[in-house]
């Protein structure tokens, strides 16, 4: 007969953690070892002034006590929505680990220095693509985009490729972070951390 588990079989009972940042770091490390493709892929939900939600998958490029960071064109649909309503929600789902993490909070741009450093770390062709793409705008055909990339490659050659001012990063400063672990018979474990002053309060939730 199957027995119900009240802890994570891979380690200590995560529901007893008091630090969501450290817990997220531990889960991300395990995901990087277990997930074959993009363990940092996350669904990002935004809404503009009309209140209509929008969601897409982006890559998490950094996290610490300040929040979760991703990069994009600020003139894209998500960038314009964040300008109108600087709040967002995210979820990372690691199917092989049967886990997910949800968070939501206020959004603010990263510093220009942070954006410069990350942009410079990207492959040169990715940097050219970021400059050439008028993200979320109508595109007549793929040849138009590839022609723009080729022109930029010829212009910059082997020299530095500057970051466009409208290409930057955003940081979601979470007001809540929820950790979910799949359990047998739909008896999952859910723990939500809610911002409380400089710290966090923790609550276990019904699945």
126 marked ligand binding residue = yes
pLDDT tens profile 118-134: 999 999 999 999 999 99
135 marked ligand binding residue = yes
Comparison of pLDDT for 140 and 86, the residue scoring more: 86
Helix, coil or strand: residue 40: coil
Report yes or no on 41 lying in a domain: yes
Q: What is the pLDDT of residue 12?
A: 61
- Catalytic, out of 137, 142, 163, 186: 186
Candidates 61, 95, 91; CA nearest to 171 is 61
Catalytic status, residue 186: yes
Report yes or no on 75 lying in a domain: yes
pTM of the model: 0.89
Candidates 8, 101, 16, 11; CA nearest to 63 is 101
Report yes or no on 106 lying in a domain: yes
Report yes or no on 183 lying in a domain: yes
Cα distance between residue 58 and residue 68, in whole Å: 12
59 marked ligand binding residue = yes
Report yes or no on 64 lying in a domain: yes
Q: Give phi and psi for 155, each to the nearest 5.
A: -65, -45
Statement: residue 55 has pLDDT above 80 = yes
Q: What is the pLDDT of residue 2?
A: 34
Q: Pairing mode, if any, of strands 41-47 and 67-73?
A: unpaired
4 marked ligand binding residue = no
Report yes or no on 195 lying in a domain: yes
Q: What is the pLDDT of residue 22?
A: 96
Report yes or no on 155 lying in a domain: no
Total structural domains within the chain: 1
Q: What is the pLDDT of residue 60?
A: 98
Report yes or no on 107 lying in a domain: yes
Question: The CATH number of the domain where 89 resides is what?
Answer: 2.30.110.10
Which residue range(s) make up the domain with 29?
14-118+165-205
122 marked ligand binding residue = yes
């Amino acid at each position: 007969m199957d027995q119900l588990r009240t802890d994570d079989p891979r380690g200590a009972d995560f529901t007893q953690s008091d630090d969501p940042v450290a817990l997220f770091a531990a889960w991300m490390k395990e995901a990087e070892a277990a997930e074959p493709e993009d363990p940092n892929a996350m669904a990002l939900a935004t809404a503009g002034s009309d209140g209509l939600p929008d969601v897409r998958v982006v890559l998490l490029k950094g996290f610490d006590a300040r929040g979760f960071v991703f990069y994009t064109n600020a003139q894209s649909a998500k960038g314009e929505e964040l300008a109108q309503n600087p709040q967002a929600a995210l979820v990372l789902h690691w199917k092989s680990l049967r886990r997910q993490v949800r968070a939501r909070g206020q959004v603010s741009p990263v510093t220009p220095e942070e954006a410069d450093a990350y942009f410079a770390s990207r492959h040169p062709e990715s940097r050219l693509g970021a400059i050439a793409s008028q993200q979320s705008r109508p595109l007549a055909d793929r040849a138009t985009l590839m022609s723009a990339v080729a022109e930029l490659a010829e212009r910059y050659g082997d020299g530095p490729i500057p970051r466009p001012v409208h290409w930057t990063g955003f940081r979601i400063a979470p007001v809540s972070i929820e950790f979910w672990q799949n359990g047998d018979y739909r008896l999952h474990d859910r723990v939500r951390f809610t911002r409380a002053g400089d710290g966090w309060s923790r609550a276990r939730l019904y699945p």
